[in-house]
Amino acid sequence: MANILVQAPPRRPKRLAFFERYLTLWVALCMVAGVLIGRFLSPAVEVLRGWEFGRGSQINVPIAVLIWLSCHGSHR
């Protein structure tokens, strides 16, 4: 019986997804957007700053939600 070797097709290197490829750009854009929002929409920023888990806890709800999403939002 003859042994037949079958060669697997060459693997293409795995590319990063669109979001991951431009992550530095997204971070920079978010930083600029945050500065502009803070500069021109200061009443809205004050409202968000006041959302805490209990008075005087210094745990900001919007920041806590965003941190939670950054840790758990990417699991598929």
**What is the DSSP code string of the chain?**
------PPPPPPPPPPPHHHHTHHHHHHHHHHHHHHHHHH-HHHHHHHHH-BSSTT---BHHHHHHHHHHHHTT--
53 contacts: CB under 8 Å, gap ≥ 6: 59, 61, 64
Name the pLDDT band for 56 (thresholds 50, 70, 90): confident
Name the pLDDT band for 40 (thresholds 50, 70, 90): very high
Average pLDDT over residues 38-56: 85
- Global pTM reads 0.53
